[in-house]
Amino acid sequence: MNGLRIILADPDPTGLPAAVWLLKLLLVFTFVLHLFFMNVVLGGGPVWLWANWRARRFAKSGVRGPQSEVMRGRTSDAGYRVEPSTSDLGPRTSDHEVLAHAIGRVLPVATAFAITTGVAPLLFTQLLYGQLFYTSSVLMAWPWLAVVGLLLAGYYANYGIFASRPGTLRAFSLGALSVLLFAAIGFLFTNNMTLMLRPELHAPLYLASDAGLHTNMADAWMWPRFAHMLVGSLAVTGLVVAWIPRIRRGFDPDSAGWVGRFGVRLFMAATLVEFLVGVAFFFALPRPVKDVFLGGRTPDALLVAAGAAFALAAVAIVRRSLLVGSCATIVALADMAVVRHRVRAVLLEPYFQPDSLPVVPQAAVFVLFALLLVAGLAIVTWMIWKFVTAAPARAEEPVAPV
């Protein structure tokens, strides 16, 4: 092999079916949607696990959490049967159990939508960056293919969580499994998404082995990027937890207050930790990216600053207004998705610019897609509205899929 060789696949001869800016916009927009649901799955698992640990029934002592919050009599509103208590306090549920139950109900739906919303950005990634993405995927073919199996197992684990009574050993084990599986999926995604940005590694790695067993673990910025995603997902999960008692009916007022406060606290703590991780991540970024974001290009530097500012604003205001805090967080998330896109663009600049790809517009079909998207969203909104405004399910009817 002669020196450092960079091999880059040729662009697809078919050309792009729309202007590059439109495809980039769709890529970033659908990624933000995915980010939200994916964060709930990734962050919901650890919160479920923790809540189950605090509400555990399998420990010898039988203590299910701090005494202060134990033992308010209530029946489960859905999802699992409340077993008769052996003590004289009657059926009861601790706050942690309520929290676990609330998250457990969200997890399968969030998983489904994390997958559904994930398909679109992956489609646009392949369209714009296929020349790099297919190569990095082949380099780590086996680990990358493992995502499918891990996802299948993790999804079923989340259904198992849904059907489990919080605090039981079964619930705890399924939670641990779900956390491990989804963290592994995130890890593999971070690997591939960073490896595809390193075309200079592709040829040496492939020519060393074509068995598809490479990863990008040796790349220094991969780890903080993964950590950034993990901690961020806890923050988003905190916000969602804070919303649950406001949206869903049938909560015991005391528990609802506790769950809401817990969600807000989790959001604030995770966001502050995210700042530290973010700084570490920033300094681990490859040189050219750091230079650009440190002020080499003003708009890019402003983007990073704006993201941090919105996140800080969200932390400052979330206690007074959950709505305003959530809106600020959504802006920060979208901003960070744009920053992520810019990092990609800056790193690839020396090798590849999507703007140079040939464009063969398919305007009519695009319009059809846009119309169907609007119609589809309208139908989904109608269904959800019908569901939310309908009378809640009969309390005694178990709806968990067992």
Least spacing, CB of residue 141 vs another protein, in Å: 5
CA separation for the pair 346, 333 (Å, rounded): 20
Least spacing, CB of residue 392 vs another protein, in Å: 7
As a three-state string, the secondary structure of 24-88 is HHHHHHHHHHHHHHHHHHHHHHHHHHHHHHHCCCCCCCCCCCCHHHCCEECCCCCCCCCCCCCCC
* Residue 112 interacts with another protein (CB under 8 A): yes or no: yes
* Residue 288 interacts with another protein (CB under 8 A): yes or no: no
Query: Can you tell me which residue has the tokens 């983007």?
Result: 303
CA separation for the pair 396, 179 (Å, rounded): 31
H or E segment to which residue 133 belongs:
helix 95-139
* Residue 63 interacts with another protein (CB under 8 A): yes or no: no
Please identify which residue in 87, 98, 134, 242 interacts with another protein, judged by CB under 8 A.
134
* Residue 393 interacts with another protein (CB under 8 A): yes or no: yes
392 contact partners, CB below 8 Å, separation of at least 6: 77, 249, 250
* Residue 19 interacts with another protein (CB under 8 A): yes or no: no
Least spacing, CB of residue 190 vs another protein, in Å: 17
CA separation for the pair 76, 270 (Å, rounded): 30
Candidates 9-17, 235-243, 273-281, 345-353; binding stretch for another protein (CB under 8 A): 9-17
Please identify which residue in 28, 115, 180, 317 interacts with another protein, judged by CB under 8 A.
115
* Residue 66 interacts with another protein (CB under 8 A): yes or no: no
* Residue 12 interacts with another protein (CB under 8 A): yes or no: yes
* Residue 279 interacts with another protein (CB under 8 A): yes or no: no
In single-letter form, the type of residue at position 209 comes to S
* Residue 369 interacts with another protein (CB under 8 A): yes or no: yes
Q: For the purposes of burial, counting CB atoms within 10 Å of the CB of 172, is it exposed (0-12), middle (13-18) or buried (19 or more)?
A: buried
Least spacing, CB of residue 350 vs another protein, in Å: 13
Candidates 147-155, 296-304, 321-329, 335-343; binding stretch for another protein (CB under 8 A): 147-155
Residue 3 or 299: which CB sits closer to another protein? 3
Please identify which residue in 120, 180, 309, 327 interacts with another protein, judged by CB under 8 A.
120
Q: Evaluate whether 386 touches 41 at the Cβ level (below 8 Å).
A: no
Least spacing, CB of residue 215 vs another protein, in Å: 14
- Which residues of 48-194 form beta strands (DSSP E)? 72-73, 92-93
- Site track for another protein across 152-181, x = CB under 8 A: x--xx--x----------------------
Joined together, the tokens standing for residue 379 give 């139908």
CA separation for the pair 163, 178 (Å, rounded): 14
* Residue 356 interacts with another protein (CB under 8 A): yes or no: no
Residue 17 or 312: which CB sits closer to another protein? 17
Candidates 168-176, 182-190, 243-251, 364-372; binding stretch for another protein (CB under 8 A): 364-372
Span 193-252, contacts to another protein by CB under 8 A:
200-204, 206-212, 220
Least spacing, CB of residue 287 vs another protein, in Å: 8
Q: What are the contacts of 273-282 at 24+ separation with CB within 8 A? A: 273/231, 274/228, 274/231, 274/232, 274/235, 274/311, 275/308, 275/311, 275/312, 277/224, 277/227, 277/228, 277/231, 278/228, 278/308, 280/224, 280/227, 281/221, 281/224, 281/225, 281/227, 281/228
Residue 201 or 345: which CB sits closer to another protein? 201
